[in-house]
Every structure is written in C-alpha cells, then in structure tokens.
Amino acid sequence: MRSLVPLVLALSLAACEQQAPTTTPDASPDSGDESTAAPHPYPRYSAKQFHETTRVRGSSFSPDETKLLVMSDHTGVPNVYEQPLAGGELVPLTTGDEVSKYAVSYFPKDERFLFAADGGGDELNHLFVGEKGKEAIDITPGEGFRADFGNWTADKSGFFVSSNERDPKSFDIYLYDAKTLERKMIFKNEGGVLPAAIDPNLRWLAVDKLVDNADSNIYLIDLHKKKPKQVLITEHAGKVELRASHFSRDGKTLYYSTNEHSEWDQFWAYDIAKKTHAEVLKADWDVLFFKDSEHDKYRVSLVNQDARGKLTITERASGETVDIPGLPPGNIEEASFSPSETKLVLHMSTDRTPTDLYLYDLEAKTLKQLSDTLNPQIDAEQLVNAEVLRFESYDGVQVPSILWKPREASAENKVPVMLWIHGGPGGQTWAAYRPTIQYLVNQGYAIFAVNNRGSSGYGKTFYHLDDRKHGDADLDDCVAAKAYLQGLDWVDTDSIGIMGGSYGGYMTLAALAFRPDEFKVGIDIFGVANWIRTLESIPPWWDAFRASLYAEIGDPKADRERLEAHSPLLHADKITKPLLVIQGANDPRVLRAESDEIVEAVKKKGVPVEYVIFDDEGHGFAKRENAIKADEAMKNFLDAHLRGS
C-alpha cells in the first residue's frame, strides 16, 4: 500500500451461518418505547452495548518481538497501548480523553514509539514520539498543516515523514534521524504530484501524477542528483490508472498497481536498471496490496473478492501457500511479519464479530488470539451474517449489494428496510462487521447496502459508469434497489428509507430532493448538500486530487449549471419526507455549513427534520460516546418515522 498517502481500507470475509438461541442472560433491552416493535425471539441490544465493543488497530513489533504497538478505544477514546504477545491485558502508553491518539510504529532499535493525533477530527495529523515515563514530543510542531509517517530506512537509522507545512497544497518529504530526531528535507514538492514510495536506501522516490479520475502516471526521481528530474516510467495509451506502491528492500525494483492489462488492478514490477516491466500478481478481482517479510522469505497478498477479502501467504522460495490451521472463518484485514520472520500478526473479523488480533508462530505453527473485542454482553450468535446479492437496475446493469436481514423477518412478519449508501464517490461497502449496522438490524431494521454504479471493486468499467452522472444514474440504481426489495416477501414495502455518510449522505439528500416520492425517510451523515461549495472548499492537501475530482464530479466553474441542478440544497423545497442530519463540527471535507443550511431549508417547509451536531468530531466518529448518541438518534428517528405506530 502507499506509505506516504493515507488510505483507508475496510475489508471482510463472511462467517458461517449459525442458529442462535432464543435468550441470553447478559442482554439488556434498548432504551425507549418498544411497544410497537415487531415480535422478536432474541434480545434487543442497546447502542451502548454495541459500541462498548473495542476497536483495536496496529501491528508494529517491539524490537525484542515480545509485544505489539496498538491503538485501542476500550476506554471510549483511542489511545496507544502495548499488547503483550504472551497474552494478557493491554499496557497504556498514552492517556487522555480529549485527543484521539493512533499507534504508528515502535522505533526498531529501542522502545520509543511514534503515534499520530489531530485536532478533534480536523485531519491535521501531527506525529509524536512517546517513551515510557516521559512526556511525548511533537516532532512536527506548528499549526495548519498535516504530517504523515512514511517508512523506516533500510538500516533503521531514520524514517520518512511527508508534510505540507511549507506549502498547504504540496507534500514535501523529510528524513528524520532516529537518535537525534533532527530532520532534513530530501524532496521539495513543486506541486502537482503525490509522493507515493521511497527507496529505503535513500536513492529513489516514486511519485504519482493524476491526469484525471481514470488516468495517472508514475514518475521516478533520483534523489542523489543535485537537480533531480521527474522521469516518466509508465508511458501508455488511453486511460490507465497507475499507482506506485513500494520499493524492494534493495531499492532495485519499484512495485506498482495498474489496471492497464484488464478490468482489475494488478501488481507489476519496474526494474530500475533494465527499465523493464513485469507482472507480479493478478486475479479476477482487484489485488489490493502485497508485501514481503523482512528478508523476503514470505509474501502476503490481499484480493478484493466480491466485497470480501481473500488473503494469501506464500513461501517465496518454494511458492507454496502457507496455511494457518485453526484460524476461524472470517476476514483477514491485515497481516504483518515480525522482523525475524518467525511471527505473523493478523487483523481478523467476521460478519458477527469486530476485528481481533491473532498471532501465528510460523515455526511452531501455533495460533493464539490476542484480543477479544466484542462486548461480552453481546452473544455473537444473536447477530446476523451479511449476504452478497445482485439486482438488475433500470438499464439492465447488475448492481452488487450487501444485505443484513433481521432474524424475525418473514412473509408473516414484514420489516422496514434502510438502503445504506457508502462514501466516496467511488467507495464500496464490504460484507464487514459494523456496530451501527448490527445495532439497527438487531432493532428490526434490514440494511441493504447498495454498491451502485461508480463503486470500486467491480472493475474499471463499472467504476466509471457514474462519472459526471451523480444524482442521476447512481440515484436510479437506488430507486431500482427499492423496487427489488419490494419484490421480497419479508419486506414492508411501504417502509423503505435511505441513509449514508459523506457521498452516501449526498445520495440520501439527492433521493429526497430529486426522487421525493420514492423513500419514506432519509438519514444524512455529514453529507454533501451543495457541490459548488464542497468542490470550492476542498482541503488544500487534496490539491493533487483536484483534477481527478473535477473529472468525476464536475468543475465548479465549467460545470456550474449541472452541479447546481444536482445540489440538494438548491432544491430543498422539493424535500417532503422526514430527515435526520448528523454532522461533525470540525469536518474539513463537508463543512458544517452544508448541514446547517439543508436543515434550515427543510425546516422552513414544515417537514420533520432532526439535527445532531458533534463539536469534537470531524468527518466520522472517533469517540465512543458520540457514536452511541448518533446511533440512538438514528434508531429513535426510524422508530418515529419509518416504522411508526
């Protein structure tokens, strides 16, 4: 994966279906009046119970390989901890309930550690060095910029950091000395490129340059030259997406992903000396990433196989697949080898259980579960599995979707359904464990996640079907999804709503404004209401993505008329159905004004509208209490306006 451009990935494999018992003594009913709820032969869990499930992330090994550096939010706010590999309780390394802190890496030669924190969701990350018994040091001090960890040098004497402190629109690259923490700039970004990979031997830098949302290039820069030039290494014809991933440890090869040769992202290798390209990994789905262990003994790769992750581990010398006996069925989201190549840490979840850490000893061939993050008050067998489905849209296109169906749903006991629209544009909903989804399903609401045209994961043709058609073609997929649901005998056909976050929030508002008779309610979670404002106020550090965004959505100047026609705020007078809006006050992507104004406009029409604002969140939820409050607001809103009396 790109080390210098932050990406977020959520992946999942399904667990086997299990028959659930009818009661559990640890369950407690959700708050609120349930007198009108459908009968249910299993316990209702509260939003608080679901969100008291712990999030755990991180897999950096300590130098002696006896513990991991991880982020955990078991106190309600993300902090940094040590996870002993022998098992046992987490050891706190950072504290506090105001600022969320995220584990980055141990120092390779001592037990200092790096962690990241921003300003309450503003995405202006800073990097800190922590050490037991000492106050943390902000090694990227200042205001109004973000800094991201890249990687360690080959000899572990230093590490790379990307920062836009010099120019808000461009990320420069700095090399930090691991002992002194002194730094020097090794690449001054003159703009227009995205630093993507650095040779750990400090010779080469690979940068991506986006032409538009379907076309990009990779340039190689020789950092040893006094006046380094950007050398194009990916000449091609037509529209091709190319993204630099990482260099080999000897710095002789650059690995990159491309969809030049098929519908799918494949991994190829560029031999720097020979100037030749060769295929490395391909599949009939997108290959998401691969990486090799410290001394190239093992290779791990992950494929996005129909909204579920398929991970493969191979021994490179023999080419044989490494099986992990005893590993339960589920999704391996991440895998990290220890420097000695004797241990492997897996991040794994199932449809019914959140991500847990597993340790596999490659020599002893033993597996140990290091964490158990599901709230013990919740019985996983009482939850539901995700089902991958497809329906035919208005023009014959097959649209993939994920269904979470309440256990009580039947032809005799029909249930309401909420369409769930992912973020993006260009995102994808996976068949993954999500506390919000499981909570709403547990409360009797089916969730039907529509991966409408324009979603990633289904080939480049499908991905580009909605370019400059947002609020039209993609929205009609949602209308077709409703028609599909109405053909299922367990669906309450008069009680179908729509919800989503970010781009999914836009789709919710667009559905209520432009297809006002289709959906009974809408829940907008920090969604775009006015494309003109959003495109004109994108964060400066997204400047290299600007051409890509304009190609996909539209240019706020050249395409102003079309964007205005598809901005729900400018057509709020057409909204007649109840609306719930949820917003983070510090959101740098979708400004609070977007939500303020859509709420005010709908309220003026006398339409039921509820508004929940979180002063200490940005584009998403970092703090547990806020996630609980948001979920409770959703459930109460749906009880009142979708299920009704």
Measured CA to CA, the distance from residue 458 to residue 164 in angstroms comes to 34
Q: What is the sign, positive or negative, of the torsion defined by CA atoms of 311, 313, 316, 320?
A: negative
User: Two tokens at 507?
Assistant: 């789709």
Long-range residue pairs from 90-96, CB within 8 A, at least 24 positions apart, any chain: 91/67, 93/69, 93/130, 93/132, 94/130, 94/136
Q: Sign (positive/negative) of CA torsion 618, 57, 69, 2? A: negative
pLDDT at position 39 = 52
Q: What torsion do the CA atoms of 504, 507, 508, 509 make, to the nearest 10 degrees?
A: 130
**Segments of the chain scoring below 70 in pLDDT:** 1-40, 645
> Could you give the CA distance from residue 286 to residue 209 in angstroms, rounded to a whole number?
21
**Reduced to 3 DSSP states, what percent helix, strand and coil does the chain have, rounded to the nearest 5?**
15, 35, 50
The length of the chain, given as a count of residues: 645
State which H helix or E strand residue 219 sits in. strand 215-222
| Phi–psi pair at 436, nearest 5 degrees | -65, -45
| Structural tokens at position 80 | 């940094």
Domains and CATH numbers, the chain: 57-189 (2.120.10.30), 377-643 (3.40.50.1820)
Adjacency order of strands within the sheet including 276-281: 242-247, 253-258, 266-271, 276-281
d(CA 626, CA 122): 16
Element (H, E) at 356: strand 356-361
Distance CA 214, CA 131 (A): 44
Task: Provide the token pair at 124.
Answer: 């202006």
* Contact residues for 621 (Cβ-Cβ < 8 A; gap 6+): 584, 614, 627, 630
CB 560: neighbour CB atoms within 10 A? 14
Q: Is 127 helix (H, G, I), strand (E, B) or coil?
A: strand
User: Any idea what the Cα angle at residue 20 is, between residues 14 and 24, rounded to 5°?
Assistant: 125
Pick the closest to residue 73 from 621, 612, 632 (CA basis): 621
Cα torsion for 194, 546, 572, 481, to the nearest 10°?
-60
Q: Which of 493, 492, 520, 495 shows the shortest CA–CA distance to 409?
A: 492
Identity of residue 75: T
The CA distance from 18 to 9, in Å, is: 27
Tokens standing for residue 143: 């205001």
Residue 255 main-chain phi, psi, to 5 deg:
-100, 140
| Helix axes 503-514 and 473-486, enclosed angle (nearest 10) | 80
Q: Could you tell me the two tokens for 288?
A: 């998401």
**Closest residue by Cα to residue 424 from 528, 518, 315:** 528
- 418 neighbors 447 (Cβ within 8 angstroms): yes
β pairing state of 147-152 and 134-138 = unpaired
**Distance (Å, rounded) from C-alpha 286 to C-alpha 272?**
25
DSSP string, 255-299: EEEE-SSSSS-EEEEEETTTTEEEEEE--SSEEEEEEE-TTSSEE
**Phi and psi (nearest 5°) for 456?**
-80, 165
Tokens 């004497």, located at residue: 157
Q: Considering the entire predicted model, what is its pTM? A: 0.90
- Contact indicator for 94, 130 with CB cutoff of 8 Å: yes
φ, ψ for residue 257, nearest 5 deg: -105, 150
